């Protein structure tokens, strides 16, 4: 049953001709409204996740819920197709259950607020926004337990509920929800900010509908979607081959001893449509590293990525969705069955971007980018401070941006848009922490004609006893290089106890006890290189050595010989490069640093850990998937 | 007898305004700018304006100057080579910055990051550590430091920045490193973060202090040269420079903290616009300065321009107070284009600039620009006889705009109107940023337009914002010089002081505010401004405990004495609700305390024009066809120099003067006031 939408006025909007200028004015106005929504939330939110790191995503959609401006595609049709209640003027919906919206939000921490906008008794638009809450209850502080077997362990599940019913605030629902969270004042302020941001967005939409007229506004949105579809059709025909292209990448482990998990996809074109078939992706995991991938969200990734790579002038929206067919098998890693745990989906979410890059780039290697910091590594630290007050930190780290066809990847940066780091002086002032080191790690950027960005290393010195959790990946598989570029460096975590003993921590671990004076070195991973490193300007390599971004030993991987003063020795470099080029085998498009079997064989020696066992799949998932 | 002189150095012209301090009378002059050494133009201008006024340069006691020297050094990369000393472990603070990749999802694919303003090879680490509370965790180690500093000097650094972790809470280590630097490398000027900007956030504090070092030698050389040239001609002259926040600073202060001068130029325009509008009786203003490549907008309430705690130049943002000027890449030279894949009309941010310029200039430009569209629509007087500044080639403009018309399948004039509508909308976006997005309703404001292209687009922007009347001041060029000459001496002192309200005694806050006021007042004392002529304002940045950004609450000391932090809390709640529609039941915290001390405003009268009646016929010099709102009209052309106080210019009309053209749209009328302002409003249709 689809949602029951109640409208006092059932007259359909007239589709009128919108002159191209008005169309551009409305598109521009909607974009401004969207940025205003961001601004309101950034300024009012309390959790560092939203406030500093900007883990939130607004959209404005047409009457049918198709996104006209925004980033991650529409969450609204997922909601509309799964919600069975009424929708009325003044309602504000809140939800977090991925299984109740086809994965439009993909774990319980993302609280999604949806607001229909009525004008003259009819829905004229939708606005929606989700933000990552620092805590939603469950068995671990931060609500992201890697070892969860079911979603019930991951915190409060909010089905679609009315936070406002016909304009009236439902405070009992709010209080019920907040009572289940460890940091209720953060959730309250973040959620209030999300609602306020939506209201601002809606105010702007109403102003536009007044200024141009309702029919014009409605028709303009339709035309904007159509305009995007026309542009994307061109891009698809020009850039996607009819012949099947295949790519696979991996999640290194599931946090409970098994891995790697394969994410695999075939891509091909039929006429003006592109098909993505994830049929060979592994079945769902028994831990929470599954990623409930909403097909519409993946279409948005496809669209955005194609636009960025092939023609950044296009403004994207949901208009081209009919041109993309996404096939994900139920019971697979990317569409697990209820009640599979979902909280730690961040690794696969990032890896899907690598997958897409690997697929699209194969037909046009000159447009191909390397792999890089395709994840949001999490760090958690919680406990009681000297005043006896509960503290809880959730922080996202960054790393090497991939080298790409137009240049080097920045060091220690965010692959996700709008994310910024939390100033260390802020952390030290609000949490019992001292950040001893905050720098990137030399040689972790993959060598290439363009260098991948370096990994980030943060040294957290703990000033109170507490517990930490770590969620990271790419400790076993490599961020691959392309077109001759070498892979970037892998991640690692080192805990140096106050007494001097050193422990290597796993990439994914929860609730590790730490004491005053212990230091955690949280090292992420680098970006892969692009193009033949033996062709990189030797002076640039030498400069990076003097900057401390590449070591003298690392320069050898570029075939660069250095003088004592760390400048390139031109003659010796040329000779070495000729020799190394001759010895080397042919350049492959991808350099993944070895097969999975090879990586596992070297695992203990290189990482200090036994390789993970091959996954045993959830019986129900595999069994039902085989139906 | 003593005179004040305002000097604004623009890209093309240097404008000067001489004020007789006793009588308030003013004299203006305009001379060509001399970009290779702008002091030459300034000196030539001084000769000219003194001639006009019939006075000797010796009688000028104060010169007030808005300069873009600092901005240009940043934009062109011509600053000093800066060495940087940071706490061990933070060498890459500028390399990592805030980890942000601009743009949307996948934005990294097209992002190449520029090199940091202080090179990594010129960055050294210092062994020391302060805690967030300002306690010494690890004392400063001097052994390797001396050697490292000498190495930096050997490498060729021209300025040094010291920025240590948590120095905002305790700057002792920074000061000690400076002492050592002074011993080891005495010829290198040093900036330390705890003095330039003693506020939390290591990246922002570091980049701000590095920017200060970066522009310092350039600004210092320029000001010293200018000052000595001026002193040669005028004994005992005092030179002041306009700060980004619209206040005046002494040469010494400007030399020590040039990062506060980055927006000196735009601040002059805003200050001048504000001053002239206030003379006409308007206190709440949106300023709209449209030039060839970009448009600057700002908001002023109750006669004071809104300031914000950051300044952006190019892709660098620093923490320095500046008039909240938002810039959008939309100007007369903005190029219109229609991307093939989408068929949408886009205008800017690419600009034809001065070279090759709009197609109509006939200087090689072929791309359709905003100026070309204005010409096609008939908004420029078509012969120089009618006051146009240069002969424009209408055929070339039409050919250029025709490309847009063809791409969109529209008639020529419709395409031209489209270009104007889109560029107006882009500028409207910037006006929204300073108004609605800060909780201000533009209908409560008047729009004052200047810059070369401002008066032509002002009426249309008035329609979008409903900020009536739209004010077109006379002689838009000299406006900045007015700003320079009429602003006040100013300094501020601030301190980060993060405390929850419930943990803090109002008396303690009061003591800090008074201390800050005294620090800032000393700068003005040094300028011989007696304390009785100084006025002090206080600001407290507040947030709900846990929020990231702060809201600034203006504090009156008497009120604070009476109501303490409770009064501040109440005001904060009001502002928060106005901006964000809600309040929270959460503890509030102080973040920054600030005192701003200003000197007395000079008494200056604006020039007035002769009185006339409603009929502007005497100023009429011709007519021509224009296209507006989808129809053709015959517009009357007026000579601005002949308009009189009381004239009512009915639209459609074009008003010309030497350096700009005003367009009055159909169904609007411009009333001329005694100062020569044109006040445009919609005509009431009864």
By the 8 A CB rule, do B452 and B662 touch?
no
A264 belongs to a structural domain: no
Q: What is residue A625's predicted lDDT score, i.e. its pLDDT?
A: 39
Question: In Å, how far are A92, A100, A113, A148 from A157, measured between CA atoms?
Answer: 18, 10, 14, 14
| Residue A574 lies in domain | 534-586
B90 to chain A, closest Cα gap in Å: 6
**Cα angle, residue A339 at apex, residues A334 and A341 outer, rounded to 5°:** 60
Q: B669 pLDDT band (50/70/90 cuts)?
A: very high
Question: In Å, how far are B505, B508, B576, B610 from B501, measured between CA atoms?
Answer: 8, 12, 16, 58
What mean pLDDT do residues B645-672 have? 93
A259 belongs to a structural domain: no
A49/A164 same-domain check: yes
Distance CA B356, CA A573 (A): 44
A517 belongs to a structural domain: yes
Q: Which residue has the higher pLDDT, A532 or B607?
A: A532
What mean pLDDT do residues B214-233 have? 90
Q: What is the DSSP letter of A483?
A: T
Instruction: Tell me which fold the domain B75-220 belongs to.
Output: Rossmann fold (3.40.50)
A139 belongs to a structural domain: yes
Question: Helices marked H in B549-620 — which ranges?
Answer: 557-580
- Start-to-end C-alpha separation, chain B: 55
Q: Is B112 in CB contact (< 8 Å) with chain A? A: yes
A506/A568 same-domain check: no
Count CA atoms closer than 13 A to B145's CA, side-chain side: 25
A440 with B92: Cβ contact below 8 A: yes
Distance CA B5, CA B18 (A): 5
Q: H-helix or E-strand containing B182?
A: helix B172-184
Question: In Å, how far are A143, A168, A494, B5 from A511, measured between CA atoms?
Answer: 12, 41, 15, 69
A477/A434 same-domain check: yes
Residue A174 pLDDT exceeds 80: yes
By the 8 A CB rule, do A455 and A526 touch?
yes
A342 belongs to a structural domain: no
Q: A13 pLDDT band (50/70/90 cuts)?
A: very high
* β-strand pairing of B238-242 with B60-66: parallel
Would residue A196 be called left, alpha or beta, if left means φ above 0 and alpha means ψ between -120 and 50 degrees? Answer: alpha
Count CA atoms closer than 13 A to A541's CA, side-chain side: 29
Q: How many CB atoms neighbour CB B312 within 10 A? A: 15
Mutate to test the interface with B, among A424, A431, A482, A565 (most CBs of B within 10 A): A424
The per-residue pLDDT for range A351-385, each reduced to its tens digit, is 999 999 999 888 888 889 999 999 999 999 999 99
A190/A41 same-domain check: yes
What mean pLDDT do residues B486-511 have? 86
Q: B390 pLDDT band (50/70/90 cuts)?
A: low
Q: What is residue B135's predicted lDDT score, i.e. its pLDDT?
A: 97
Q: Delimit the domains of chain B by residue range.
A: 75-220, 490-598
A422/A504 same-domain check: yes
The per-residue pLDDT for range A448-457, each reduced to its tens digit, is 999 999 999 9
A73/A119 same-domain check: yes
What mean pLDDT do residues B241-268 have? 88
Q: What is residue B340's predicted lDDT score, i.e. its pLDDT?
A: 75
A149/A206 same-domain check: yes
Residues 62-91 of A with CB under 8 A from B: 71-72
Q: B516 pLDDT band (50/70/90 cuts)?
A: very high
A213 to chain B, closest Cα gap in Å: 16
Q: Which residue has the higher pLDDT, B22 or B685?
A: B22
Distance CA B217, CA B223 (A): 10
The per-residue pLDDT for range A68-96, each reduced to its tens digit, is 988 777 778 888 888 889 999 999 999 99
Q: What is residue A312's predicted lDDT score, i.e. its pLDDT?
A: 66
Q: Which residue has the higher pLDDT, A166 or A316?
A: A166
The per-residue pLDDT for range B142-188, each reduced to its tens digit, is 989 999 999 999 999 999 999 999 999 999 999 999 999 999 999 99
What mean pLDDT do residues A413-422 have? 90
Count CA atoms closer than 13 A to B544's CA, side-chain side: 23
Of all residues in chain A, the one with the smallest CA distance to B432 is A32
Q: H-helix or E-strand containing A264?
A: strand A261-270
pTM of the model: 0.88
Q: What is residue B12's predicted lDDT score, i.e. its pLDDT?
A: 67
Q: What is residue B389's predicted lDDT score, i.e. its pLDDT?
A: 47
A549/A419 same-domain check: no
The answer to whether the peptide bond before residue B349 is cis (omega within 30 degrees of 0) is yes
**Cα angle, residue B408 at apex, residues B402 and B414 outer, rounded to 5°:** 60
Residue A621 pLDDT exceeds 70: no
By the 8 A CB rule, do A266 and A357 touch?
no
Q: What is residue B385's predicted lDDT score, i.e. its pLDDT?
A: 44
A188 belongs to a structural domain: yes
A424/A451 same-domain check: yes
Tokens of B451: 């810059």
Q: A627 pLDDT band (50/70/90 cuts)?
A: very low
Q: H-helix or E-strand containing A347?
A: helix A346-363
Q: Selecting from 3.40.190, 2.60.120, 3.30.1490, 3.40.50, what CATH number does the domain B490-598 have?
A: 3.30.1490
Closest CA to B442 of B454, B452, B430: B430
Q: Is A171 in CB contact (< 8 Å) with chain B? A: no
A559/A419 same-domain check: no
Number of structural domains chain A divides into: 3
What mean pLDDT do residues B90-95 have? 98
The per-residue pLDDT for range A307-358, each reduced to its tens digit, is 877 766 667 788 899 999 999 999 999 999 999 999 999 999 999 999 999 9
The per-residue pLDDT for range A228-277, each reduced to its tens digit, is 898 889 889 988 999 999 999 999 999 999 999 999 999 999 999 999 99
Domain boundary among A169, A194, A226: A226
Q: What is residue B346's predicted lDDT score, i.e. its pLDDT?
A: 87
Tokens of A209: 């509908």
Q: Which residue has the tokens 């004039």?
A: B413
Q: Is A52 in CB contact (< 8 Å) with chain B? A: yes
A209 to chain B, closest Cα gap in Å: 15
For the ranges A415-419, B89-93, B431-435, the maximum mean pLDDT occurs at: B89-93
Residue B1 pLDDT exceeds 70: no
Q: What percent of chain A has pLDDT over 70?
A: 97
A158 belongs to a structural domain: yes
Domain boundary among A197, A226, A255: A226
Lowest mean pLDDT among A162-176, A487-501, B465-479: B465-479
A557/A488 same-domain check: no
Q: Is A401 in CB contact (< 8 Å) with chain B? A: yes
Q: What is the mean pLDDT of chain A?
A: 92
A312 with B110: Cβ contact below 8 A: yes
Query: Looking at the DSSP assignment, which residues form a beta bridge with residue A404?
Result: A407
Q: A42 pLDDT band (50/70/90 cuts)?
A: confident
B202 with A235: Cβ contact below 8 A: no
By the 8 A CB rule, do B291 and B331 touch?
yes
What mean pLDDT do residues A528-543 have? 97
Q: What is the DSSP letter of B540?
A: E
Q: What is residue B341's predicted lDDT score, i.e. its pLDDT?
A: 67
B344 with A20: Cβ contact below 8 A: yes
A248 belongs to a structural domain: no
By the 8 A CB rule, do B332 and B290 touch?
yes
Residue B684 pLDDT exceeds 80: no
A411/A500 same-domain check: yes
């Amino acid at each position: 049953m689809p949602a029951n939408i109640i409208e006092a006025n059932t007259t359909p909007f007239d589709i009128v001709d919108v002159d191209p200028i008005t169309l551009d004015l409305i598109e521009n106005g909607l974009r401004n409204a969207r940025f205003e929504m961001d601004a309101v939330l950034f300024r009012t939110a309390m959790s560092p996740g939203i406030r500093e790191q900007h883990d939130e995503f607004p959209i404005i959609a047409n009457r049918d819920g198709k996104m006209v401006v925004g980033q991650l595609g529409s969450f609204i049709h997922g909601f509309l197709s799964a919600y069975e209640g009424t929708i009325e003027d003044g309602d504000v919906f809140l939800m977090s259950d991925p299984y109740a919206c086809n994965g439009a939000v993909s774990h319980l921490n993302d609280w999604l607020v949806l607001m229909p906008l009525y004008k003259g008794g009819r829905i004229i638009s939708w606005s929606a926004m989700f933000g990552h809450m620092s805590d939603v209850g469950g068995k671990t502080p931060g609500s992201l337990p890697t070892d969860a077997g079911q979603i019930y362990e991951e915190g409060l599940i909010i089905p679609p509920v009315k936070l406002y019913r016909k304009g009236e605030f439902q405070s009992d629902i709010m209080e019920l929800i907040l009572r289940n969270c460890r940091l209720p004042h953060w959730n309250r302020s973040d959620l209030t900010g999300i609602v306020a941001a939506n209201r601002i967005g809606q105010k702007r939409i109403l102003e536009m509908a007044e200024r141009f007229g309702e029919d014009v506004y409605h028709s303009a949105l339709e035309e904007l979607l159509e305009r995007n579809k026309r542009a994307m059709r061109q891009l698809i025909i020009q850039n996607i081959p009819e012949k099947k292209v295949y790519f696979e990448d991996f999640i290194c482990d599931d946090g409970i001893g098994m891995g790697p998990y394969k994410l695999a996809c075939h891509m091909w074109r039929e006429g003006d449509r592109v098909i993505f078939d994830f049929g060979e992706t592994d079945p769902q995991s028994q831990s929470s590293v599954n990623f409930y991938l909403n097909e519409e969200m993946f279409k948005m990734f496809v669209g955005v990525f194609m636009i960025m790579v092939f023609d950044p002038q296009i403004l994207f929206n949901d208009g081209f969705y009919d041109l993309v067919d996404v096939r994900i098998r139920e019971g697979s890693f990317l569409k697990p069955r209820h009640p599979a745990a979902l909280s730690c989906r961040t690794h696969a979410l990032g890896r899907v971007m690598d997958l897409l890059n690997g697929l699209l780039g194969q037909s046009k290697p000159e447009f191909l980018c390397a792999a890089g910091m395709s994840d949001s590594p999490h760090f958690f630290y919680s406990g009681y401070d000297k005043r006896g007050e509960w503290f809880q930190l959730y922080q996202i780290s960054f790393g090497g941006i991939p080298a790409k066809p137009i240049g080097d990847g920045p060091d220690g940066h965010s692959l996700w848009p709008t994310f910024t780091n939390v100033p260390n002086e802020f952390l030290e002032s609000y949490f019992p922490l001292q950040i001893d080191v905050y720098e990137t790690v030399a040689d972790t950027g993959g060598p290439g004609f363009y260098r991948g960005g370096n990994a980030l290393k943060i040294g957290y010195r703990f000033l109170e006893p507490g517990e930490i959790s770590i969620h990271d990946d790419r400790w076993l598989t490599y961020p691959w290089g392309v077109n001759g570029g070498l892979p970037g460096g892998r991640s690692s975590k080192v805990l140096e106890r106050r007494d001097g003993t050193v422990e290597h921590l796993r990439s994914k671990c929860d609730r590790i006890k730490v004491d005053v004076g212990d230091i955690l070195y949280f090292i992420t991973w680098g970006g892969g290189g692009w193009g033949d490193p033996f062709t990189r300007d030797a002076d640039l390599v030498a400069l990076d050595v003097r900057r401390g971004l590449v070591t003298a030993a690392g320069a050898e991987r570029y075939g660069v010989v250095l003088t004592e003063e760390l400048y390139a020795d031109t003659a010796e470099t040329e000779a070495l490069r000729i020799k190394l080029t001759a010895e080397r085998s042919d350049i492959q498009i991808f350099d993944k640093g070895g097969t999975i079997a090879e990586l596992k064989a070297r695992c203990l020696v290189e990482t200090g850990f036994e390789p993970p066992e091959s996954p045993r799949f959830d019986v129900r998932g595999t069994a039902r998937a085989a139906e | 007898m003593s005179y004040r002189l305002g000097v604004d150095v623009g890209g093309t012209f240097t404008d000067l305004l001489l004020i007789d301090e006793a009588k308030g009378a003013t004299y203006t002059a305009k001379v060509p700018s001399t970009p290779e050494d702008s002091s030459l133009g300034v000196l030539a201008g001084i000769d000219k304006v003194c001639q006009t006024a019939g006075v000797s340069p010796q009688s000028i006691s104060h010169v007030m100057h808005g300069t873009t020297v600092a901005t240009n050094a940043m934009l062109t990369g011509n600053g000093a080579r800066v060495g940087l000393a940071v706490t061990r472990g933070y060498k890459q603070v500028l390399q990592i910055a805030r980890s942000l990749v601009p743009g949307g999802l996948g934005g990294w694919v097209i992002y190449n990051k520029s090199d940091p303003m202080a090179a990594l090879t010129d960055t050294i680490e210092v062994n020391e550590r302060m805690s967030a509370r300002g306690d010494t965790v690890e004392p400063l180690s001097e052994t390797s430091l001396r050697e490292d500093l000498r190495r930096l000097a050997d490498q060729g650094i021209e300025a040094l920045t010291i920025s240590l972790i948590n120095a905002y809470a305790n700057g002792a280590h920074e000061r000690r490193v400076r002492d050592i630097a002074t011993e080891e490398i005495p010829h290198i000027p040093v900036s330390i973060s705890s003095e330039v900007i003693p506020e939390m956030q290591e990246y922002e504090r570091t980049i701000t202090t590095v920017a200060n070092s970066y522009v310092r030698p350039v600004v210092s050389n320029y000001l010293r040269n200018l000052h000595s040239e001026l002193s040669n001609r005028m004994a005992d002259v005092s030179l002041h420079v306009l700060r980004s926040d619209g206040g005046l600073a002494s040469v010494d202060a400007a030399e020590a903290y040039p990062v506060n001068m980055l927006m000196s130029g735009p601040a002059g325009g805003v200050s001048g616009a504000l001053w002239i509008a206030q003379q006409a009786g308007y206190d709440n203003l949106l300023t709209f300065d449209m030039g060839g490549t970009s448009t600057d907008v700002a908001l002023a309430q109750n006669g004071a321009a809104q300031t914000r705690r950051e300044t952006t130049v190019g892709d660098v943002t620093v923490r320095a107070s500046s008039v909240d000027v938002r810039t959008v890449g939309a100007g007369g030279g903005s190029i219109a284009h229609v991307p093939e894949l989408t068929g949408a009309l886009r205008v800017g941010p690419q600009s034809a600039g001065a070279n090759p310029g709009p197609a109509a200039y006939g200087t090689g430009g072929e791309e359709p620009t905003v100026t070309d569209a204005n010409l096609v629509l008939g908004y420029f007087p078509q012969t120089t006889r009618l006051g146009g500044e240069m002969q424009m080639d209408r055929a070339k403009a039409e050919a250029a705009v025709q490309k847009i018309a063809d791409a969109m399948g529209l008639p020529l004039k419709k395409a031209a109107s489209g270009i104007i509508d889109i560029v107006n909308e882009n500028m409207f976006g910037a006006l929204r940023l300073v108004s609605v997005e800060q909780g201000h309703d533009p209908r409560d404001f008047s729009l004052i337009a200047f810059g070369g292209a401002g008066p032509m687009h002002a009426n249309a922007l008035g329609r979008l914002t409903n900020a009536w009347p739209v004010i077109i001041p006379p002689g838009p060029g000299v406006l900045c010089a007015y700003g320079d000459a009429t602003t006040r001496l100013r300094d501020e002192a601030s301190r980060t002081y993060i405390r929850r309200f419930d943990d803090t005694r109002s008396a303690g806050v009061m003591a800090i505010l008074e201390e800050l006021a005294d620090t800032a007042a000393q700068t003005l004392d040094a300028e011989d401004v007696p304390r009785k002529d100084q006025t002090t304002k206080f600001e407290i940045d507040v947030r709900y405990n846990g929020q990231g950004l702060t809201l600034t609450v203006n504090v009156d000391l008497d009120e604070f004495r009476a109501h303490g932090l409770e009064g501040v809390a109440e005001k904060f709640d009001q502002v928060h609700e106005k901006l964000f529609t809600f309040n929270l039941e959460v503890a509030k915290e102080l973040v920054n305390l600030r005192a701003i001390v200003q000197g007395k405003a000079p008494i200056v009268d604006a020039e007035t024009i002769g009185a006339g009646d409603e009929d502007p016929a005497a100023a009429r010099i011709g007519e021509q066809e224009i296209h507006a709102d989808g129809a053709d009209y015959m517009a009357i052309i007026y000579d601005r120099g002949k308009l009189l106080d009381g004239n009512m210019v009915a639209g459609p009309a074009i008003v010309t003067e030497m350096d700009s053209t005003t367009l009055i749209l159909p169904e609007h009328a411009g009333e001329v006031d005694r100062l020569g302002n044109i006040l445009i409003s919609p005509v009431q249709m009864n």
